[in-house]
Amino acid sequence: MSSIFTKIINGEIPCHKVAEDENFIAFLDINPNARGHTLCVPKREINRIFDMDRQHYLDLMSFSYKVAKALEEVVSCDRIGISVIGLEVPHVHVHLIPINDMKDMTFQHKISMTSEEMASLAQEIGNRL
């Protein structure tokens, strides 16, 4: 069965898209730790990040770097935290999280944003790419 992220990639379910190229997509996390929490996802569905071949992994990091640079121009924060977990969605994704405090990286504190706010933020970040 396809992952929820493959369904997003195939346009079967919506997302607040920030960026996309031939191999990767970035969209806002639906349940963000912080404003601007973004996921960078390879279009090829792979469960564990270190099962990616080395070049594909490096390309994902390069894509994530570009998105992080745009994100930090738009969202005021101390820095962009990065995390790879994948226990909830077994399809590789890099979490980019604008952080000011260690709690922003714990996935225990969540913020709420309206769909309209998410749509406009995704567009603003995407415009900086």
Q: Which residues are catalytic?
A: 93
Q: Are 77 and 36 in contact (CB under 8 A)?
A: yes
Q: Which of 49, 61, 82, 89 binds ligand AMP (CB under 6 A)?
A: 89
Edge-to-edge strands, sheet with 94-99: 17-20, 24-28, 38-42, 94-99, 79-83
Q: Does 29 bind ligand AMP (CB under 6 A)?
A: yes
Q: Does 97 bind ligand AMP (CB under 6 A)?
A: no
Output Rg (C-alpha) for the chain, integer angstroms: 14
Q: Which of 11, 87, 114, 116 binds ligand AMP (CB under 6 A)?
A: 87
Residues that bind ligand AMP (CB under 6 A): 4, 15, 27, 29-31, 39, 85-89
